[in-house]
Amino acid sequence: MIFETWWLLALPLIFGLGWMAARFDARQLMSEQGALPRSYFKGLNFLLNEQPDQAIDAFIEVVRLDPETTELHFALGALFRRRGETERAIRVHQNLASRQDLPDAEREHALYELGQDFLRAGLLDRAEESLRRLMSGPYAAPAKHVLLELYEVEKEWKKAIDAARELQPLEQKDYSVQIAQFCCELAQDALQRKQPDDAIGWLQQAARENPANVRAPMLLGDVAMAAGDAQGALGHWLGIEKQDATYLPLVADRVVKAYRQLGDDGRALEWLRGLLKTNLAAELLDSAYRAELEQHGAHAAAVLMREQLRRQPSLQALTKYFEAQAAEVAQASVAVTANAADVADGEPAGCAHDVEHEQEVSAIRDLLQHRTRNLARYTCRECGFRARLFYWQCPGCNRWETYAPRRSEALG
C-alpha cells in the first residue's frame, strides 16, 4: 500500500471537525435543558420515585409557564386518568383536541385519549363518539380495540362482531374465538326472548367461526331440550367429548336430566360411573353422587364414593362419602325411632349408641364440608381470578375462554 503524504494533513482536519461537532451538540443540549423549567425535571423525578401526586403538581406548574408543551399535557392527562380523576383528564384532552394550531397527528392522539377518559368515566356514548372519529389513520387500530371493549361492556354484540372483524386485518390477529362467543351471547339473548330459530342461527354461525367452540353445542342441546327433544339434546351434549372431553362435566347434570326424561336413568348412571374412572372424576363427583343417591339410596352412594376414594383419593370424595354415611345413619336412626315407639318397655338397647354414632358422622361431615367449601374453584389462566362458577368471559380480565373447565383442589 503506497503512503500518501496528504493523509498527514487530513488527519488533524478530521479530528478538528469531530471536536467542533461535539461542541455544537453539547451547546445545543445545554440550551435545550436551560429552556426547560426546573419543575419539568422535578416532575420526572417524582414519577421515577412513584410519587404521582407530586408529579402532577410539578407538571401543572410547567403547563402554566409554557402552555404550548403538548407532550406534558398528554402526560398530565394520563396521570389524572390513572388516579381516577377523569373529569380533569377529560378537560386536559378536550383543550388539546380543540386547539386549532395542533398538528393532525397530535389532535388524533388527543381524541384517542379523550375516548379512553370517557370510557373510564362511564360516559360510553361520548367515548364511542370520540373514537368513531379515528376510523382511519395511525390511531385506527387502537381506537377500534377500545371500541370493542366498549361494545362488550354495553353488550352490543353485533357491533362487537363488526369491530372484531375490522380489527383482524389491522392487527393481523385471529378474533374467531371472540366472534364465536359474541354469537353465543346473541343466541342466549334470543333464547330469553323465546326465539329458538334465531338462537339456532347464531349458534350455527358460532360453530362456523370457531369449530372448536364448545359453548355452541351446549346451547344447541338446551334448545333441543326446551323443545322436548331429549334425544337430540343428548346428541349435542355427548358430542362434546369429540371436541374437548374436559368440558363434559359442565353438561353432566343436563345429560342425567335428558336420560331421565327418556326413562333411562340407568344409562346416565352407567355413563357417569365410566367417567369416574378417567381424569375427569374430580369434576364429576357431585353429579355421580347425586345420581346414585337418587336412584339407589344413601348406602349405594357411600359404596360408590368409597370405591372412588380407593381409586383417586381426594378431599371432595371423602366429603361425599361422609355425606352419604350421614344420610345412611340418619335413615337408620329414623327406623330405630319408629321401632322404639312400638316398644312398651322404653328405649331399646343400642339406641343411645346409634345416636352417638350419628352425631360423630354428622360432625365429620360438617367439618369436611366447611373445609372444602372454598377449595374447588375455577381459575383464570390469564389473571388468576378464582370463581366458584364457570365463566366464558373472565370477570377479572374480561378475556374469553380463559377458564379451564377444571377446578383446583388445594390441600393446604
389 falls within a domain: yes
pLDDT at 346 over 80: no
Of 112-116, 244-248, 315-319, 357-361, which range is least confident?
357-361
Residues 276 and 368 in one domain: yes
Domain that holds residue 127: 69-96+108-170
> Which residue bears the cell 392522539?
109
188 falls within a domain: yes
Residues 367 and 383 in one domain: no
Q: What does the pLDDT read at residue 160?
A: 95
Q: Is 409 left (phi over 0), alpha (psi -120 to 50) or beta?
A: beta
Residues 369 and 389 in one domain: no
Residues 332 and 400 in one domain: no
35 falls within a domain: no
Residues 75 and 156 in one domain: yes
Which residues are part of a known binding site for Fe cation? 380, 383, 394, 397
pLDDT in tens, 270-310: 999 999 998 888 889 889 999 999 999 989 998 999 999 99
Torsions phi, psi of 401, nearest 5? 55, 40
Residues 358 and 280 in one domain: yes
Residues 349 and 392 in one domain: no
DSSP annotation of 379: E
pLDDT in tens, 97-120: 777 776 777 777 878 888 888 888
Residues 304 and 399 in one domain: no
Q: How many domains does the chain have?
A: 4
Residues 269 and 349 in one domain: yes
Q: How far is CA 109 from the centre of its chain?
A: 29
223 falls within a domain: yes
330 falls within a domain: yes
178 falls within a domain: no
Q: How many CB atoms lie within 10 A of CB 208?
A: 14
179 falls within a domain: no
Sign of the CA dihedral with 140 first, then 146, 147, and 149 last: positive
In this prediction the pTM is 0.72
Measure the CA dihedral 26/30/36/39, to 10°. 110
196 falls within a domain: yes
Residues 412 and 333 in one domain: no
Q: How far apart are CA 130 and CA 133, in angstroms?
A: 6
Residues 397 and 332 in one domain: no
pLDDT in tens, 148-191: 988 998 899 999 999 999 999 888 889 999 999 999 999 999 99
